[in-house]
Amino acid sequence: MEKARKLFIAGNWKMNKTVAEATDLVKALKRDLAGIRDVDIAVCPPFTALYPVGQLLDNTNIKLGGQDLYWEKFGAFTGEVNAAMLKDVLCTYVIVGHSERRQFFHETNETVNKKTKAALAARLKPIVCVGETLAERESGKTEAVVQEHVLKGLAGLSAEDLAEVTIAYEPVWAIGTGKTATSQQAQEVHAFIRKLLAQLSDAKTAARVRIQYGGSVKPSNAHELMSQPDVDGALVGGASLTARDFVEIIQNVRK
């Protein structure tokens, strides 16, 4: 059965790639992914590479995203980047609340909510990350943690706002570990997230929101994960750093 929602594959490059390395990678992606319209594609380089990558991707089928933003419009916030700055370098998307931001930089559901609202106000499309740690999963807290992330992180958004949001479910225990949630585990949590979205808005809006899976996605497991009814794409980490792997993931999920 064909999905009503177009798949969305985004690459999160994290703290990798100099400007030269980033532009080389994007040139390869432009060549190898040219003409693909049945999957939405984005890459999220580090801040230093956003401008040159954005220039290369302008008017192509690959969109640009930032890895984070601050919620204030301007001011004395050393080291931060705001939504207008991301728009200025041609970003369409921005990642908000990645588990590494929560773990290492003390992001909270409240700051995720502020950042999501700031992105939407600037007409950036936020990719809002949610997910549990290994300890939380093993103690049976997966749904409680995910519920708190979703309901608090998206509090106060209208149905129109929610329709512009992508959710990325990241089981923290599967990020960069080589472990992957089974397709059944992923589907169970994605379906649960969609029920929560319906609580925040309505069933019609919830059905429109794309929910990506993020956690050691690679060419060998992408097709099975994306074949689940509520898995609408992937937020790809390590495998997005080489053109061959990222392109192969996209080709595999198109089948």
Give me the CATH topology for the region 7-253.
TIM Barrel (3.20.20)
User: Number of helices and strands (H, E) in the chain?
Assistant: 12, 8
- pLDDT score recorded for residue 80: 98
| Structure token digits, residue 158 | 């209208």
- From residue 120, give the alpha-carbon distance in Å to each of 14, 78, 84, 94, 175: 22, 23, 11, 10, 27
Of 138, 170, 188, 248, the active-site residue reads: 170
User: For residue range 18-76, what is the model confidence (pLDDT) as tens digits?
Assistant: 999 999 999 999 999 999 999 999 999 999 999 999 999 999 999 999 999 999 999 99
| pLDDT for the residue 3 | 65
Q: What is the pLDDT of residues 127-182, one digit of tens each?
A: 999 999 988 998 999 999 999 999 999 999 999 999 999 999 999 888 777 777 89
98 catalytic residue (yes or no): yes
Domain ranges of the chain: 7-253
In the set 21, 98, 148, 164, the catalytic residue is 98
